[in-house]
Amino acid sequence: MPRRTSNLPIPRGLTLCPICGEYRGKVRARDLNWRGSDAEEEIACDKLVGVSCLCSGIRCPRCRGVMIHRPGSNSYMPGGNYILHNPILPAEPLCDDCRRKAGLRFMQQFGRQ
């Protein structure tokens, strides 16, 4: 099933990647919805925000099969017209699957005594 896009207009500067279906490019900060984020001061800002798609990400270091967003990069969320910042974590970045498995193991080890 093709990814459903919302009716929100996509800000200028962003293009849909034909490979992974995510947006990439450069977008003006004030064209984005910053409500609820901790970067509200960016709202009226002329600064360009770089957005990268999954293709410029990295492979999950654990399973080596899945692409994950490069830590420190920004992803555009067309559903709400906002930017998701992919944090740089002290631990190695893992795909959702591996993170779930790692979390599960952690719970089994330390959760219940």
User: At its nearest, how many Å lie between Zn ion and the CB of residue 64?
Assistant: 7
Cβ pair 49, 83 in contact under 8 A: yes
- Return the residue matching tokens 């990814």: 3
Residue 5-34 contact track with Zn ion, rule CB under 5 A, x = bound: ------------x-xx--------------
Within 80-109, which residues bind Zn ion (CB under 5 A)?
Answer: 95, 98
Burial 17-56 (b: 16+ CB within 10 A, else e): beeeebbbbebebeebebeeeeeeeeeeeeeebebbbbee
CB of 75 to Zn ion, least distance (A): 11
Note the residues at the interface with Zn ion (CB under 5 A). Answer: 17, 19-20, 53, 55, 60, 62-63, 95, 98
